[in-house]
A and B are shown apart, each in its own frame.
Chain A
Amino acid sequence: MADDGQSVIVQRVEPSSNPVQDEDLDQYGDELAGLTIVDVDVHVDDTLMFMLDYMEGHFRKRMETVLQADFKGEPGNSLRNMIAHIAWLGSSYDKPPRAKLATKEDLLARMQKGIIDYSILFPSELLPIGYLPEPEWAAALATAYNQYMVDAYRNLDGVKIAIVVAPQHPERAAQEIESHAAHSDVVSVCIPDVGVNPPIGDEKYWPIFAAAARHDLPISFHGIEALIHDNYPLRVAHFHTLMQVNSMGFPFTSMLQIMSVVCAGIPVRFPNLKFAILEAGLTWMPFIMYRLDAAYLRYRTELPALEKKPSDYIRDWYIGTHELEALPRRGDLVKLIELYQGQDTTMWASDWPHLERDLIAGFMRYEMEDALRRKILGENALRFFGLKPRK
């Protein structure tokens, strides 16, 4: 290379820090002492390579092929990277540093601080499962993921698992629920909600809800950046930046799926089934509740199974705080929760260790009564997931 004083030598750059250890849990000390804290959205390294040993036949062969391919991006050949980050690869310039994948040891180290009573593990790698056009392949991935998670994360103090189902294969999804429901560490059924078409209230998915209701396992919808699917709610073509996709994708999808479930009368058909929405923030909740109520006046006869107005069902849904919107004033969060009547349904969630994770301090800065804070930090989640207090 010519030494012209202008050339830049490109070197491989190591990640600049380890975000897995970004929160000094010890700093909270007395502030959190005695409080039950349930982190309802935690992710561990579940990249495809872990699923290999749980796949058989031609799907195992196919997984071997996937793992040999070089998809770039993060370690572990990531389905998420293929789907979510290619278009804007590198656009955040390692600022903040890309989240590392948390190993089991990272998770246990975080739990050993004794601050967090429960971590509920949700999938990372399979969050885009709704995009996959082949139902059998999607179902095989879900089966492998669930078996891996149950084998690798069973019997750990305070660690609980949400199994994942592939909604495009409702029968296999119901079988997954049947096979894992009795496991004491399995506390929820995760339906990754982005890319699911038709929307999740459609009658074809009802075997999933029937199975979950039969086993009293709550359903958790978990979002992902809504990308690269050519229908509602959002198309990649609509946005120039990943920030726009990220901001709109999660809540738009959540609103779509809530609307779909409620308008399909699923809460009437499965009255004991509990639902949660994760990773979509909170501020849109009043909008969808009361917007639907207004329209319901005119269109109720399209939804003759409903016994109450839509908001009366939606206010029963649990909701994770992550990614908490940047509400500017310390009293704003309480006002918002009052608007959607979420005192008994809002659950603190970090999304640890992902890029957008929320730290406990971010929640603690909002003013509220102690009783409400206790509900949000832990009590509501204990009820939703059917967990016993550990403190």
Chain B
Amino acid sequence: MEVKVGSVQIAVFNVDGDFFALFGRCPHQSAPLSRGRLQGTVICNADTCWETQWAHEGEVLVCPGHGMEYNIRSGKAFGYDLKLRTYEVAVEDGQVMLVM
């Protein structure tokens, strides 16, 4: 879902009870990230011995605009030198709160 704090849109996700909050607009062309789906992606690096592997299942937020992918935990964009701002989420007495 998307929440608005002041003028800032924030995308909030509930993944099996774990909450994640990120800046809600894609830096590419401002598509609303709250409408993106979560899936995995392919990685290939020294850790995979340069083999292409499917990884991060369920933790990759895919922008509904043109498909940029973000690690939902870190906000880091896969394959870009770019990171979305992330927000801490606290759950108290059944209330979900963003720590700004």
Contact = CB atoms under 8 A, between A and B. Distances in A.
A304 B67 CA distance: 14
B78 interface: yes
Among A297, A298, A303, A309, chain B packs the most CB atoms within 10 A around the CB of A297
Interface string A260-284: 0000010011000000000000000
Nearest to A297: B66
A308 B79 CA distance: 5
Secondary structure of the B contact surface, majority rule: loop
Contacts, number: 38
29 contacts: A265-B44, A268-B45, A297-B28, A297-B66, A297-B67, A297-B68, A298-B66, A298-B67, A300-B67, A300-B68, A300-B69, A300-B78, A300-B79, A301-B41, A303-B79, A304-B41, A304-B42, A304-B43, A304-B44, A304-B52, A305-B44, A307-B79, A307-B81, A308-B80, A308-B81, A309-B79, A309-B80, A309-B81, A312-B81
A296 interface: yes
A63 interface: no
Interface of A: 265, 268-269, 296-298, 300-301, 303-309, 312
Interface string B48-82: 00101000000000000011110000000011110
Contacts of B52: 304
A305 B67 contact: no
Greatest chain B CB density within 10 A among A298, A301, A303, A309 is at A301
A118 to B, nearest CB: 34
A172 to B, nearest CB: 24
B79 A296 contact: yes
A303 B80 CA distance: 12
Given A306-B79, A308-B79, A308-B81, A301 B42 contact: yes
A33 B100 CA distance: 58
B54 to A, nearest CB: 10
Interface in B17-32: 28
Contacts of B79: 296, 300, 303-304, 306-309
A261 to B, nearest CB: 16
A309 B79 CA distance: 6
B52 to A, nearest CB: 6
Contacts of B28: 297
Contacts of A269: 50
A310 B75 CA distance: 20
In the A-B complex, list the 5 residue pairs whose CB atoms are closest, starting with the nearest.
Answer: A304-B44, A304-B42, A305-B44, A308-B81, A297-B66
A317 to B, nearest CB: 17
B45 to A, nearest CB: 7
A297 B66 CA distance: 6
A286 B44 CA distance: 28
A307 B68 CA distance: 13
Nearest to A303: B79
A218 to B, nearest CB: 23
Contacts of A312: 81
B74 to A, nearest CB: 14
A307 B81 CA distance: 7
Contacts of A268: 45
A279 to B, nearest CB: 30
Nearest to A299: B67
A305 B78 CA distance: 10
A298 B43 CA distance: 16
Contacts of B44: 265, 304-305
Given A304-B44, A308-B79, A312-B81, 18 more contacts: A265-B44, A268-B45, A269-B50, A297-B66, A297-B67, A298-B66, A298-B67, A300-B67, A300-B68, A301-B41, A301-B42, A303-B79, A304-B41, A304-B78, A305-B44, A305-B50, A307-B81, A309-B79
